[in-house]
Structure formats: C-alpha cells, structure tokens
Amino acid sequence: MKRHQNYEIIWHGRGGQGAVTAAKVFTEAAYYAGFKGVSAKPTYFSERRGAPVSVHTRISLEPIRTFSNVLFPDIAVVLDENLLEMVNVTSNLKAGGLLVINSSKSAHDLHINGPFTIAVSNAYHCSETAGLIVEGNVLVSTSILGPLVAATNFVGIDNVRKAIQHKFRGKPLDRNLKALELAFENTEIVDLQMMSFIAQA
C-alpha cells in the first residue's frame, strides 16, 4: 500500500484481546513516522470481556478535525477471525484497501473476495509463543501489528518497535517485541483483486 496523505482504519476485536492497545501503539508509531494528526476512538458493544469492540483510527500528515466513526476505511484489522461470521468487515472497505486478519488459516481458505489486499498471520500463535498471556488470555495487541506493517510501507516496523518500547518495560517489552517480530515474519499477503483478474483471464 502506497503512502498517502491520510488513512482511516477500523479495528475489529473482542474485549480483552487488545484492540484499543493495538490502535494506540499504531497511532503512536504513525506519529513517529511523520503523521502529525492521529486519533483512536473505541466503540464498545458491551462493557464485558469477550464482547465485540471496534476502534476507529485516523492518521494524517495534517491535523485531524474529524473524530466521528470511520465509515469507509482504507484498512480493516480483524483480531479474531470468528468475527468474520458476525461482522461484514469488508462491506465498506475501500477498493484497493487492505484487510488484516489474525487467523491460523491461509488467505485462500478464508474464502474472502473483493478488490483489496489481504494480509494474514496467526497472531494468536505468535503471542502465545512469545508468552504474551495475561490471566490465561492470549493478547494479540502487538502481534496483530506484524501483518499490518508487513503489508504497508507508511509506518514501518522500526517505528512500531519504538512505540512498543515507549509503552512497555522489562519482560513485557521483550514478549511484545517477540510477538511483533514473529507475526511480521509469518505474514501471508495476497492481492485478491489481482488473483481475481488472473482467474478470469
């Protein structure tokens, strides 16, 4: 995905998975990358662990003056693949946009079609391997950033590392960095629009 003036992102997750943390870390990384306008606005469907939650993020090279929910995202990030059965995460995704999914399945096996790129990584397994577990819950707040930065070039993994280093210390820092690296290195990126074009040729 080429660098533009601004981006709008929706994060889909469940309470306790780290969607809000992921969005905040990413917006801070975007600031380090030169985006001077950043915002992250969570929307809770129910104030309980495990309930669906979405976070609406904007990053811009200029100051942001819009703080409403994102309606037509450039990027949709899905922290729990089971939400694909509950939420139409691609309904308003812009043509040429990016869909990032935490899944143990391949992009092909997810059976998603559309004029966009999909980036898939097993963020859950990467976080579990890194020991990113709190009270029995595996957190994917930083590992989900791996496929996001792997499929884009406007923030960069170094800036994400810097944001993580600003938020965590000691062993939590090491675990979050390891989870990020594992997910980044094990990302599958597929241009679904190009695949559709080839299939029709």
Task: Give the C-alpha separation, 46 to 191, whole Å.
Answer: 34
Q: pLDDT at position 201, please?
A: 35
Q: Which two tokens stand for residue 107?
A: 């992009």
Total of domains in the chain: 1
Residue 176 included in any domain: yes
Classify the phi-psi angles of 156: left when phi > 0, otherwise alpha if psi is within -120 to 50, otherwise beta: left
**pLDDT tens digits, 8-58:** 999 999 888 889 999 999 999 999 999 999 999 888 665 556 678 899 999
Residue the block writes with tokens 């963020």: 123
Task: Give the C-alpha separation, 78 to 17, whole Å.
Answer: 11
Q: Which two tokens stand for residue 147?
A: 């496929």
**pLDDT tens digits, 50-66:** 678 899 999 999 988 88
Helix (H, G, I), strand (E, B) or coil at 78: strand
Residue 132 included in any domain: yes
Asked if residue 115 lies in contact with residue 92, where contact means CB atoms within 8 angstroms, the answer is no
Q: Is the pLDDT of residue 181 over 60?
A: yes
**pLDDT tens digits, 78-102:** 999 999 988 889 989 999 999 999 9
- Residue closest to 79 by CA, chosen among 49, 46, 52, 98: 52
Task: Give the C-alpha separation, 45 to 107, whole Å.
Answer: 28
Asked if residue 72 lies in contact with residue 51, where contact means CB atoms within 8 angstroms, the answer is no
Residue 1 included in any domain: no
Residue 50 included in any domain: yes
pTM given for the model = 0.90
Q: pLDDT at position 150, please?
A: 97
Residue 27 makes CB contacts below 8 A (sequence gap 6+) with: 38, 39, 40, 57, 59
Q: What is the CATH number of the domain that holds 115?
A: 3.40.920.10
* C-alpha of 81 from chain center: 12
Domain extent, residue 84, equals 6-200
- Nearest 5°: the CA angle 56, 59, 62 is 135
